[in-house]
Amino acid sequence: MSKDEEELDPRETPEHPRHQYGLIGQGVAETKLLESYKSGRFHHAWLMCGPQGIGKATLAYRLARFILNHRDHLSSDVQNAVDLTVESDNGVAHRVAARAHSDLFVLQRELNRKTKKLRPAIAVDDARRLGGFFNMTAGEGGWRICIIDAADDLNASAANAILKILEEPPKNCLFLIISHAPGRLLPTIRSRCLRLDLAPLKGEEVAQVVSSGLQGHDLSADETAALIALGSGSPGKVMQLVTSQGARQFIRFQQAVSAPQGFSLSIRMTIAEEFQKRGAEIEFGIFADLLESWIGRQARQAAEQSDHAKANALALCHSAFSDSIARTNALNLDRRQTLMMAFADIEKILNQ
């Protein structure tokens, strides 16, 4: 990636996983990787699974730095290590951060030079470059490592190209494959990897991760707590939501439906009007995703409380809203009307 492309790439921020040297909340997964490497029976392909934004890529870069810095698993530095820490002033860390380590290949969606936007998928030509990378001798000896971030972005041809390498892996090659939805991957890819599940973080862990990133956003304590709750254990999701008008309006929705005076028509109209504005498509999508998840949670909660009538009504509301959003996006329908209909259904169910 050129300097110009780096400036256009929305992922290239100081918060990028390759610039992170700490890891919070994923100690179990980190220990499993470390102990496996120490043993000398290290699998050549790890499938790192879990929701987006919980630290999978951070852990992948953390492991890559450690192995590239400690090529001999029998060395005292490895055998005495308690975690995968490599300090930021280390030479390997510098090269990884600068995307200049000859033994590390990162496969991800590339920037379209014409549109100056990220391509919708990882293309087969990019995946095929891995063959040449793994066929070369390691520039610094030891392992050659590929991070795929994320496998969910592979198109069909790219996935098959990766599968061919996984089926006959070269010596001392390592795949660190990130997936937010592993069930959608080719079964043959999943079967050739050792799965490592990462769990969402606890609320206090999320708060610790995002504390510095939230500074300067002028959030009240209640707004910060609400954003962390919306993140569902994902610091990455919290940071995506912090500047989102869709998230702010959803917090307003939550406050309104739980208020003693109820979910008034004026508040419904104010929220819905926000997403009728020109250019509000992305924020509408964020709000719709949050609302759909909220309806689902309310349905589950009603079922757990044996309120079967309410649970069934909310389940039907969830299905109808999901279909309505799909139609609205596909046919460019009135977003305001879509939300007002959903709000009316929710208000009716809550007042039963």
Region 324-331: mean pLDDT is 92
Region 265-273: mean pLDDT is 95
User: What pLDDT, on a 0 to 100 scale, did the predictor assign at position 158?
Assistant: 96
CATH fourth-level superfamily of 3-197: P-loop containing nucleotide triphosphate hydrolases (3.40.50.300)
Residue 118's H or E segment, with its range, is: strand 117-118
Phi, psi of 200 (to 5 degrees): -55, 150
**Domain residue ranges in the chain:** 3-197, 244-350
295 within 8 A of 321, measured Cβ to Cβ: yes
The pTM (predicted TM-score) of the whole model is: 0.82
Q: Is the pLDDT assigned to residue 5 strictly greater than 80?
A: no
211 within 8 A of 173, measured Cβ to Cβ: no
Q: Is the pLDDT assigned to residue 309 strictly greater than 90?
A: yes
29 within 8 A of 60, measured Cβ to Cβ: no
Tens of pLDDT, residues 182-236? 999 999 999 999 999 999 999 999 999 999 888 888 888 888 898 899 999 999 9
Look up tokens 């606890």; give the residue: 202
